[in-house]
């Protein structure tokens, strides 16, 4: 029995409100939240394996990379804990990770273009009004990234592919904070996706097709955020490979 089969057998199912049981099918948002929670809870002295795991996640399961994963490496934490307990952290690990292009770096860029909406939400009071955010900066940057892409072969370009995976994760946020103003983004994406339904689900589907995601079950789960898949177990295996333990149940932080 392979590693993934063992996980499915041992841990299948849900574990109640606010937690998921690793091993069974999960909706993509739940899988992303669970994996992000596991990563950001890792000890700071484990920066090297976390950085290496994130590198491999970006290469092998880029559709699971989230902006929240970067929080493990945020600057205030590095400054505060650089010499915590008399032990020097391996800050070169994160410097190397951030120097490499990939979906994670592009998600950070998208968040900046959205006025750092997720960070602002994290610091805002429960009743705070964030307000409307323009889609124009994200659409403009998308047009720049796709500017030299060949029709029908956009995802053959590594930079375009990284950007599309980042957008695949962020489209729901963009849809929400712009009040559904996705037309400029859809227009900017035309070199990669052609004509597409101007909705979060429509753009997800078109981007997934442009990226060549052929697995019907995974494609369905990426488009319909309530559809479950066990494809995330490949990411669990990557974390295990780097010595990062994923518990049987994980809190959806």
Rounded to an integer, the average pLDDT of 209-235 is: 93
Residue 86 confidence (pLDDT) above 60: no
CA 150 to chain CA mean position, Å: 25
Q: How would residue 83 be classed by pLDDT, with cut points 50, 70 and 90?
A: low
189 and 93 in a common domain: no
Task: Check residue 133 and give its pLDDT.
Answer: 92
Q: What is the pLDDT of residue 122?
A: 57
Distance CA 164, CA 145 (A): 10
Q: Are residues 38 and 113 in the same domain?
A: no
In which domain, by residue range, is 33 found?
1-100+230-253
Under a CB-based contact definition with an 8 Å cutoff, are residues 178 and 132 in contact?
yes
Task: Count structural domains, the chain.
Answer: 2
- Summarize pLDDT for 146-195 with one digit per residue, the tens: 986 666 666 788 999 999 999 999 999 999 999 999 999 999 999 999 89
pTM here? 0.84
Domain shared by 58 and 154, yes or no: no
Both 236 and 150 in one domain: the answer is no
Same domain, 75 and 164: no
Enumerate residues 6+ apart whose C-beta is below 8 A from 36.
66, 68, 69, 253
Q: Angle at CA 200, nearest 5°, toward 149 and 221?
A: 95
- Let me know whether 14 and 69 are in one domain: yes
Whether residues 9 and 62 fall in one domain: yes
Q: Are 20 and 34 in contact (CB under 8 A)?
A: yes
Answer yes or no: do 173 and 91 share one domain: no
């Amino acid at each position: 029995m392979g590693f993934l089969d063992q996980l499915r057998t041992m841990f299948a199912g849900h574990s109640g409100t606010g937690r998921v049981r690793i091993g069974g099918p999960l909706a993509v948002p739940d899988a992303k939240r669970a994996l992000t929670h596991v990563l950001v809870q890792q000890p700071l002295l484990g920066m090297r394996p976390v950085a290496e795991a994130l590198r491999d996640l970006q290469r092998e399961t880029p559709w699971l990379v989230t902006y929240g994963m970067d929080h493990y490496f945020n600057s205030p934490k590095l400054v505060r804990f650089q010499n915590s307990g008399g032990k020097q952290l391996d800050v070169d690990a994160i410097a190397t990770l951030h120097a490499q292009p990939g979906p994670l770096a592009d998600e950070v860029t998208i968040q900046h273009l959205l006025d750092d909406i997720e960070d602002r939400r994290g610091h805002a009071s429960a009743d705070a009004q964030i307000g409307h955010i323009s889609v124009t900066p994200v659409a403009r940057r998308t047009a720049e990234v796709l500017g030299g892409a060949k029709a029908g072969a956009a995802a053959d370009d590594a930079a375009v592919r990284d950007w599309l995976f980042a957008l695949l994760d962020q489209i729901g946020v963009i849809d929400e904070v712009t009040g559904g103003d996705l037309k400029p983004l859809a227009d900017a994406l035309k070199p990669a996706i052609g004509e597409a339904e101007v909705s979060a689900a429509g753009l997800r589907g078109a981007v997934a097709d442009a990226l060549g995601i052929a697995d019907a079950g995974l494609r369905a789960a990426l488009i319909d955020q309530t559809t479950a898949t066990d494809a995330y177990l490949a990411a669990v295996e990557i974390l295990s490979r780097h010595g990062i333990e994923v518990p049987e149940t994980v809190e959806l932080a």
